[in-house]
Structure 1
Amino acid sequence: MSEPDDRLETRLIHAGEPQPRFGGAVAMPVFQSSTFAIDGDAGYHDLRYIRLNNTPNHLALAEKLAAIEGADAALVTSSGMAAVSTTLLSLLGAGGHLLAQRELYGGTHGFITRDLPRLGITHTFIDAGDPSTWAAALQPSTRVLYVEAISNPLVRIGDLAAAATFARQHGLVSIIDATFATPVNLRPLTLGFDLVLHSATKYLNGHTDIVAGAVVGRAALIETIKHLLDHLGGSLDPHACFLLHRGLKTLALRVRHQSASALALARWLERHPAVAAVHYPGLETHPDHTRARAWFSGFGGVLSFELRGGVEAADRLIARTRLMTHAPSLGGPETLLTRPATASHAGLTPDERQRTGVTEGLLRLCVGLEATEDLIADLERGLE
């Protein structure tokens, strides 16, 4: 069993593990049962049932997630977008107003701009790096402030500490999507955030074989979100819980390698004559490098860059690389290379992409677990 003063690596292995172990099993078993016997007088949300996210697999996983974030409670969901959408719906409601940073993952941006308005929920996009402009965007119905730890795909870092403070001063719930950062590189609750969201599909699982989400934070908020999730049905399958539980145990090792490899690749690209710009917070030339050094233990495994030849050069590089798979997502053992304009941000209009700085030729590189030297050689071949 993990103790509160255990280091992250130890908590990843031992937190949430059942005591005593089920049948002596060292690995958490899969409880592939939709229904469990009623024990005493349980309310609806406490009945043991897969859709209610409270099977032994769900509970062990939630305890581990809460422990590694230093939180009161946690909740797993069927996808990262299930975590985002259920959290926002449970905290806003008809007539509510949301402050959100301008540069967002495409799916989150689409949900905020296209789905929430149909429910009577409005929003204002803010510059996450300029706290002096936030107060002007407040409305009497503002209830939530939403930011990302590292934006996708330009890997910008807003004034996170100021965001948590601003929300607290104005009675807002502060939410941060920390998918790119992971608990290895950033602990948002220590900055004062109320809730941390993850697309657990990515680094938390780390094996490119499930889709999952997580919400971590204050117990009262987690309970509110769970009750809506119970009704919406966005529960995670027990076998997916098992795979995520397994993947978390190697999180620290994986993320530290990916962060170190991404920094080496970013430095190499920055020196290459065919490269026009490199976006990575670990570089001293990145506009948010000072913030990254202040709050992050590592700079993450995602970088983006632009070639001097524009879209044609970008597509040529994708076609020529041998080790880099042309596919969306991130956080797995494989290195993935995409053009966000045709992948993560394809759902945005050209004008929306332009406003968020996502050019047509921008490339996003999500570094995997291959040898860094081999990835550099692959890029070199592709850029010849």
Structure 2
Amino acid sequence: MERPSTNNQQPTTNFETIAVRTQTERTQFDEHSTPLYLTSSFIFEDAEDMRASFAEEKEKNLYSRFSNPNVTEFIDKIKLMEGAEAGYAFATGMAAIYSTFAALLSAGDHIVSCQSVFGSTHTLFTKYFPKWNINTTYFKAENSETIEDLIQPNTKILYLETPTNPAIEVLDLEAMGKIAKKHNLIFIVDNCFATPYLQQPIKYGADIVVHSATKLIDGQGRVLAGVAVGKADLIREIYLFARNTGPAMSPFNAWVLSKSLETLALRVDKHCENALKVAEFLESHPNVELVKYPFLKSHPNYEIAKKQMKLGGSIVAFEVKGGIEGGRNFLNKIKMCSLSANLGDTRTIVTHPASTTHSKLSDEERNEVGITAGLVRCSVGLENVEDIIADLKQALD
């Protein structure tokens, strides 16, 4: 890939230092903070420089659809955080997911995926990929022991999210990684909910990790973005696909996200601290039937979460009494928290999937992926936790 590396001025394995000190080489102006490189293209010294650059005999920025100093800095930070060899950044999280699959799959290939995946990913698997004779078989998060029974001779990819959206199920990455290696599958993990600060799937055998950087990586609801990192040979295929199809991240968004990563650890620590207190409060409320949060001891996969996650994350799922109407009534009574389809924001957000994002599914289809009638997803923000709890309490009361 024709993209010069960044200069990590303080080589280290410490997450916070990587986030702050991984920067693009300084220009002749000796700036302390990386500048914006708002340019569509780059120039060459002479014909030989141009020939060698396009022949990939030297690392050089050619065109911002291929690479850009701001985008390179962002990718290199995520690579170091996830323990990956290479990466490519995209305009959105779904562009990252689509491009990863499209680059690595051929007609006739088969995917084994956890059934609890983001709605647009599910649509790719069920509506669009079958047009190209690429089919998907789902396993339930609670029945992951059935995975090996679902693998076919043409299975190429094992795919999952953990924690899942929106039911907050936790899958055992180590066990999944062993299955993928045994059957020579490409193991892809959507690590959006955990971020590289809380969980590094590559440690457990993942070949590629994808993120919607729109969420906690940005953390302030400002930009759309996605990223895929992993093994160099696989990322090379993804890069070539994206270079020719054009879902590249903009330099401005990359600059914003690289700055966001400098505070990711601080922000996520506070998100998790608030989320655990919110989850503990919700468990005690009489109008809540069930609470799902990875670091609650009541979570069925608590031990797995403790093994592979640093903290429990920012998302709490809970069941409000009264079914769909109970969920809608809860949203109508919220005063401070935001009603939005986003998550991972500084502001606390609540959604009721059964009456909004998943309302077009049948009751049976929703139940299959853990979306019960009264399920509420709460993306816990950075407000004072007493204010968050007070708003949830008055809506539940």
TM-score, length of structure 2 as denominator length: 0.92
| Aligned with 1:49 (options 54, 63, 71) | 63
Cα gap change, 1:264 to 1:86, in 2 (>3 Å): same
Asked if the contact 2:159–2:189 (Cα under 8 Å) also holds between the matched residues in 1, the reply is yes
| Aligned with 2:189 (options 176, 195, 212) | 176
- CA deviation profile, 1:196-227 (whole Å, cap 9, x unmatched): 11000001111101000010111111111011
Cα gap change, 1:32 to 1:58, in 2 (>3 Å): same
Shift of 1:313: 2.3
Match of 2:206 in 1: 193
After TM superposition, the structure 1 = structure 2 runs for residues 49-198 of structure 1, keeping only pairs within 5 Å, are: 49-52=63-66, 54-198=67-211
Cα gap change, 1:218 to 1:159, in 2 (>3 Å): same
Verify: 1:5 aligned to 2:12, yes or no: yes
Distance 1:108 1:370 in 2: 31
Match of 1:285 in 2: 298
Shift of 1:374: 0.8
Shift of 1:348: 4.3
Distance 1:22 1:75 in 2: 27
Distance 1:383 1:158 in 2: 30
Q: SS where residue 36 of structure 1 aligns? A: coil
Shift of 1:132: 3.1
Verify: 1:227 aligned to 2:240, yes or no: yes
Q: SS where residue 26 of structure 2 aligns? A: coil
Verify: 1:240 aligned to 2:240, yes or no: no
Give percent identity, aligned residues only.
34
| Aligned with 1:320 (options 333, 339, 348) | 333
Asked if the contact 1:105–1:345 (Cα under 8 Å) also holds between the matched residues in 2, the reply is no
Q: Which amino acid aligns with 1:30?
A: L
Asked if the contact 2:315–2:379 (Cα under 8 Å) also holds between the matched residues in 1, the reply is yes
Distance 1:347 1:3 in 2: 51
- CA deviation profile, 1:140-197 (whole Å, cap 9, x unmatched): 1111100112100110011211111111111111000000011111111111111111
Asked if the contact 1:110–1:348 (Cα under 8 Å) also holds between the matched residues in 2, the reply is no
Shift of 1:361: 2.1
RMSD: 1.7
Q: Which amino acid aligns with 2:33?
A: A
Q: SS where residue 296 of structure 2 aligns? A: coil
Distance 1:44 1:154 in 2: 48
Shift of 1:106: 0.8
Tell me which moved more, 171-180 or 340-349.
Answer: 340-349
Shift of 1:26: 2.0
Task: Give structure 1 stretches of 5+ with no counterpart.
Answer: none
Shift of 1:5: 3.1
> After TM superposition, where is structure 1 displaced by more than 4 Å over at least 4 residues in a row?
44-47, 346-350
Match of 2:5 in 1: none
| Aligned with 1:33 (options 1, 17, 39) | 39
Asked if the contact 2:347–2:383 (Cα under 8 Å) also holds between the matched residues in 1, the reply is yes
Q: SS where residue 53 of structure 2 aligns? A: coil
Shift of 1:44: 7.3
Q: SS where residue 147 of structure 1 aligns? A: strand
Distance 1:359 1:177 in 2: 23
Cα gap change, 1:30 to 1:126, in 2 (>3 Å): same
Distance 1:347 1:205 in 2: 29
Q: SS where residue 76 of structure 1 aligns? A: strand
Asked if the contact 1:63–1:74 (Cα under 8 Å) also holds between the matched residues in 2, the reply is yes
Q: SS where residue 66 of structure 1 aligns? A: helix
Distance 1:347 1:9 in 2: 42
Cα gap change, 1:4 to 1:184, in 2 (>3 Å): same
Q: SS where residue 155 of structure 1 aligns? A: coil
Match of 2:228 in 1: 215
Distance 2:355 2:61 in 1: 43
Q: Which amino acid aligns with 2:12?
A: D
Task: Give structure 2 stretches of 5+ with no counterpart.
Answer: 1-7
Cα gap change, 1:255 to 1:197, in 2 (>3 Å): same
Cα gap change, 1:381 to 1:44, in 2 (>3 Å): farther
Distance 2:101 2:11 in 1: 30
Q: SS where residue 339 of structure 2 aligns? A: coil
Distance 2:132 2:359 in 1: 24
Shift of 1:311: 2.0
After TM superposition, the structure 1 = structure 2 runs for residues 359-378 of structure 1, keeping only pairs within 5 Å, are: 359-378=372-391
Q: Which amino acid aligns with 2:17?
A: T
Cα gap change, 1:349 to 1:49, in 2 (>3 Å): farther
Verify: 1:331 aligned to 2:331, yes or no: no
Cα gap change, 1:227 to 1:283, in 2 (>3 Å): same
Shift of 1:47: 5.8
Distance 1:209 1:300 in 2: 20
Q: SS where residue 23 of structure 1 aligns? A: coil
Q: SS where residue 61 of structure 1 aligns? A: helix
Asked if the contact 2:321–2:374 (Cα under 8 Å) also holds between the matched residues in 1, the reply is no
Shift of 1:51: 1.6
Distance 1:32 1:250 in 2: 24
Match of 2:314 in 1: 301
| Aligned with 1:260 (options 253, 273, 282) | 273
